[in-house]
Amino acid sequence: MTLTRTQVGDLLARHGVEPSRALGQNFVADPNTVRRIVRLAGVEQGDRVVEIGPGVGSLTTALSEAGASVTAVELDRHLLPVLEEVVVPLGVRVVHGDALTVDWDAVLEGADGWSLVANLPYNVATTVVLHLLDEVPAIASMLVMVQREVAERLAAPAGSRTYGIPSVKVAVWADAEVVGRVPPTVFVPPPRVESALVRIRRRAEPRLARDPELMMSLVRQAFGQRRKMLRRSLAGVVAPADMERAGIDPATRPEQLSVERWVALADVVSAS
């Protein structure tokens, strides 16, 4: 049975836990919301699912009820007794660790085909998503709840107002889309922002430049001056002739370039 607001409050009180602002903790306390997340994630019987930041186990419980084999990674040691009470009896494996430093091969037991389904702490959400895309290929898909503005940046297409460095990084590895919004009222405590659900599916073939570090260096430099044309923001780094060889108008601004164009530019520059 998924947790109600009353049950979440009771668990926190009995275990003497207060949500940590420093850790970006806002616990989901609405059964309909967690069931919706599980449905949008497409979780089925026997799926391998990893959850980061399970909190008191609201979403974890719904994932387990859907028949998934769930591993939950929790940084806050104060929440471990809560998870021991709520989700361990359901067969959930709880790992105490930091998603940015944990040994993911050990967490995922060397298996492929995992899904990440999580209400990510807002203060590290972008960093966690990009780290997993870069470093943990065993996670094939993600359905994450994050701050709405973050979701829009992660899934933004080229040419949109929110397209930026995170959008390019995600697009290298995956296809992403915002699939729903979540109001503050379903959380304990309620955040001051609206949340959104973003679905990320890893591509079979990433859009990688021959020199990925060079490409991201160009992306960072250009978006650091996003209002300028590329001929100015990349002056001294990319010759106008290289832009033309990559099929890019030097008068273009960085948000107009798709990830394929960034790859083409980096490949031309690295070959020069």
Give tens-digit pLDDT for 155-192: 999 999 999 999 999 999 999 999 999 999 999 999 99
pLDDT reported for residue 127: 97
User: Domains of the chain, with CATH numbers?
Assistant: 5-202 (3.40.50.150), 212-271 (1.10.8.100)
* Average pLDDT value for the chain: 96
What single string gives the DSSP state of each residue in the chain? -PPPHHHHHHHHHHTT----TTTT--EE--HHHHHHHHHHHT--TT-EEEEE--TTSHHHHHHHHTT-EEEEEE--GGGHHHHHHHTGGGT-EEEES-TTTS-HHHHTTT-S-EEEEEE--TTTHHHHHHHHHHH-TTEEEEEEEEEHHHHHHHHPPTTSTT-SHHHHHHHHHEEEEEEEEE-GGGEESPPSS-EEEEEEEE-SS----SSHHHHHHHHHHHHTTTTS-HHHHTTTTS-HHHHHHTT--TT--GGG--HHHHHHHHHHHHH-
